[in-house]
Structure 1
Amino acid sequence: MQRAVDEGLLIARFAVVMDVKNHIIVSALRHDEPFDADATGREVRQSLVRLAAEQSDYADRVTDVLRERAARARGSVKHEHDYHPEDLASLDLRHAVYSRVATELKRLSDDDGYVGEIVETARQDAWGELGGAVESRLDRLPKPPVRNADYERNRTRRIRTLIDVDLAALKKQMDDI
């Protein structure tokens, strides 16, 4: 059971980091807001409490709905969510896992160190994603012309041609109008 609780907590942590990272990016790009560690910490705490409530609701659903339905079920199993009396032990285990994950998430929402780690991870992920987007964009920009020794050596001749030929032709066109 502890492994399932640990995995549930890892998934919840990942979800909170992703949610907060996206909030940081949107705040920076759309609202031109600077990063605020305190505000981000409050958001992390709210996300953890929200996830704890979801896990608690799942635990209640297992107890209230699924366990009751399983105890009354008869006949053959029709699909993967068709629980029968032989599934009661598994449902009790699910209830215990959901309850422990909910309790732990609620406890972690009050843990300044844990919240701070999530804030920093989300901040680093956000800036990494933004930096990657900028790098990708810069990689697509046209490359500047290559300047070599021939370019510098022939520059005077090219400017003279521009003045004597191209600008002279443009002046003639303007005079004819």
Structure 2
Amino acid sequence: MSAKRLLRPKLADVVAEGVYIAAAATRLTLKNHILVDILSAGEGFDADRFVPDARATLLALADEAEADAQRAERERKLARRRFSDSGGTHDYRSRDVRNLRRRRKQSERIAKELRQRAEDDAELRTLVEAAREAAWAEVARNIDSNLRIEAARPDLEPDYEKMRQARMQSLRLVDLPRLAAHRRRSGERESMEPTQDDAVDGV
């Protein structure tokens, strides 16, 4: 067995990497949706509202993987009848047939895995929650660097109302959902929980 064959990555490893990249792309897409819907439109965060977006993104990536598999198969069929030297990176020849077959299998497996995840509501909600955290991190950085709310004085701050709106949005995006999640995890069952309006009064 050659050293080249020993160093060839396993199919499962390549598929896992492909699925990881697809998940990262999905989180980025969802993060942008959350920022637009909550910060621009002023909507409250509801994880279930973004589950269809997560599913649609995964399915679109699965379609792309299937298209890659079909393209590799077409190229493999053409390459197996070509025995001359290659004229470029994508000018495949008979010696490339095995690699093209492997690429087709990898893409097919990635597409299958993505479609399975698209049908898993728990997986979709995990992606949405990760995207929400990423959106909050971006908002928090912007607020920390631009607004400096701790030192702000309304009478000295000409953009106070605009800044206050941004603080309110960040409160709806993260603080209240985080408080609710903490209470669910700790199992507390208080008869009266702070409402959004109550929390906003102190902003």
The question of a shared fold, defined as TM-score above 0.5 by the shorter chain, is answered with yes
How many positions carry a matched residue from both structures?
A: 143
Instruction: Report what 1:63 is aligned to.
Output: 73
Aligned 1:1-177 pairs, distance under 5 A: 1-64=11-74, 66-138=75-147
Identity of aligned residues (%): 34
For 1:79 and 1:36, the matched residues in 2 are separated by: 50
For 1:89 and 1:39, the matched residues in 2 are separated by: 44
Bigger relative contact order, structure 1 or 2 (CA pairs below 8 A, ≥6 apart): 1
Deviation of the 1:61 alpha carbon: 1.1
Unaligned runs of 5+ in 2: 1-10, 154-203
3-state SS of paired residue (2:77): helix
Bigger-Rg structure (1/2): 1
TM-score (norm 2): 0.66
2:71 aligned partner, one-letter code: R
1:48-70, CA deviations, whole angstroms, 9 ceiling, x for partnerless residues?
11111111111111112x11221
Deviation of the 1:82 alpha carbon: 1.5
- Runs (4+) of structure 1 exceeding 3 A deviation are none
For 1:49 and 1:143, the matched residues in 2 are separated by: 46
1:25 aligned partner, one-letter code: L
3-state SS of paired residue (2:84): coil
Decide which structure has greater helix share.
1
Instruction: Report what 1:148 is aligned to.
Output: none
Q: Mean alpha-carbon deviation: is it higher for 2-11 or for 35-44? A: 35-44
2:98 aligned partner, one-letter code: A
Deviation of the 1:29 alpha carbon: 2.2
Query: How much is the aligned-residue C-alpha RMSD, in angstroms?
Result: 2.0
